[in-house]
């Protein structure tokens, strides 16, 4: 649902192709070949909106790797979560995981990654953008979503507006703030083709470290490590869930993310849990991680407990 914009807001002075408007994602359209999109680190997005009393899936700015300068054109209260990208307000350091006040004329800048890869900036009520197929989530490949409805990233000269008032500011319990520790252990729910991989490959999957390839994006994260071997030479294409870990012929796994294709024909080890996907979104190229098997029931219980943090907030 789009809103009529207010005057003022944030003017974009400097941006990159990696800075986009995202929300909770686009659902119910995969039969049209349209993918999900939405915030990669959905946990950080939820917290950014929670800090301002917004709907948890309201539109936010996903800031990947920094290099963003914004000019405040009105007094407001904003919220920042996710990665530490060296944010500053008029040159003063600005820590994530809190709401903060800005005044007209101030400069909000994001430099380079210090911890994590993606920061999330929320505004009262969510940023204004046209709804396309039920969401404003940006995806360049399909030319859907974003500030202009055409999937393009944020560009210099554009303005971000919102309609909320920011009267419902909250403070996070420090014990709930995610910590992006090195070499994360990401839980994997094993899938139907897991038995088609060799015993050595299954040992390697869960006992070797995997490094994130530089050829990674919002469509998928490529993992570099031991070559995996699958006895299944071909299979009929099937639907691909968020976090699916598929293994192409080169034996190097790819974790499929929000901008993934809707169907695929490579064998899959299974799928990362939603929490693991959010954590993966904060990994930079060259970082190492490990995969840990988890039963589906345990993963579902953990997911429900996480959601309770916001329901009871």
- Per-residue pLDDT averaged across 100-119, rounded? 97
pLDDT at 232: 85
pLDDT at 313: 59
Strand order in the sheet with 60-64: 19-22, 60-64, 115-122, 76-84, 98-102
pLDDT at 3: 43
pLDDT at 287: 97
Share of the chain above pLDDT 90, in %: 89
| CA–CA gap between residue 93 and residue 91 (Å, rounded) | 6
Structure tokens at 85: 């990208």
Report whether CATH 3.40.50.720 matches the domain 185-311: no
pLDDT at 246: 95
CA distances from 177 to 29, 64, 173 (A): 33, 19, 7
Give 67-115 as a 3 state SS string. Answer: CEEEEECCCEEEEEEEEECCCEECCEECCCCEEEEECCCCEEEECCCCE
pLDDT in tens, 281-295: 999 999 999 999 999
> Is the pLDDT score of 8 beyond 90?
no
pLDDT in tens, 28-83: 998 899 999 999 999 999 999 999 999 999 999 999 999 999 999 999 999 999 99
- The average confidence (pLDDT) of the chain is 94
> Is the pLDDT score of 4 beyond 90?
no
pLDDT in tens, 131-162: 999 999 999 999 999 999 999 999 999 999 99
Domain boundaries, the chain: 10-176, 185-311
pLDDT at 7: 57
DSSP bridge partners of 238: 264
pLDDT at 168: 81
- Per-residue pLDDT averaged across 171-188, rounded? 95
pLDDT at 235: 85
Taking the CB of residue 79, how many other CB atoms lie within 10 A of it? 27
pLDDT at 125: 95
The answer to whether the CB of 118 falls within 8 A of the CB of 82 is yes
> Per-residue confidence at 89, pLDDT binned at 50, 70, 90?
very high
Which H or E run contains 269? strand 268-272
| CA–CA gap between residue 44 and residue 309 (Å, rounded) | 13
| CA–CA gap between residue 118 and residue 313 (Å, rounded) | 24
pLDDT in tens, 203-240: 999 999 999 999 999 999 999 999 999 998 778 889 99
| CA–CA gap between residue 313 and residue 306 (Å, rounded) | 12
């Amino acid at each position: 649902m789009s809103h009529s914009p207010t005057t003022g807001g944030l003017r974009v002075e400097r941006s990159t192709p990696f800075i986009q408007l995202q929300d909770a994602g686009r659902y119910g359209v995969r039969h049209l070949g349209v993918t999900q999109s939405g915030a990669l680190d959905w946990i950080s997005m939820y917290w950014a909106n929670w800090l301002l009393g917004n709907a948890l899936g309201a539109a936010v700015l996903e800031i990947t790797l920094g290099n963003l300068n914004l000019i405040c054109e009105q007094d407001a209260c904003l919220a920042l979560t996710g990665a530490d990208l060296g944010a500053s307000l008029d040159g003063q350091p600005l820590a994530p995981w809190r709401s903060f006040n800005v005044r007209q004329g101030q400069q909000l800048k994001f430099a380079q990654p210090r911890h994590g890869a993606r920061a999330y900036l929320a505004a009262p009520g969510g940023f204004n953008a046209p709804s396309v197929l039920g969401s404003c989530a940006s995806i360049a490949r399909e030319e859907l979503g974003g500030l202009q409805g055409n999937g393009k990233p944020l560009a210099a000269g554009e303005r971000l507006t919102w309609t909320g008032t920011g009267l419902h500011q909250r403070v996070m319990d420090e014990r709930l703030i995610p910590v992006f520790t090195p070499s994360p252990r990401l839980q994997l729910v094993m899938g139907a083709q897991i038995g088609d991989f060799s015993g050595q490959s299954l040992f390697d999957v869960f006992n070797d470290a995997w490094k994130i390839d530089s050829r990674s994006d919002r469509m998928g994260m490529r993992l570099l490590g031991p070559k995996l071997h699958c006895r299944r030479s071909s299979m009929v294409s099937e639907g691909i869930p968020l976090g699916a870990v598929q293994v192409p012929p080169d034996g190097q796994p790819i974790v499929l993310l929000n901008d993934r294709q809707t169907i695929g024909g490579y064998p899959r080890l299974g799928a990362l849990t939603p929490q693991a996907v959010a954590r993966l979104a904060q990994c930079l190229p060259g970082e190492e991680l490990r995969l840990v098997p988890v039963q589906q029931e345990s993963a579902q219980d953990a997911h429900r407990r996480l959601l309770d943090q916001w329901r009871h907030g």
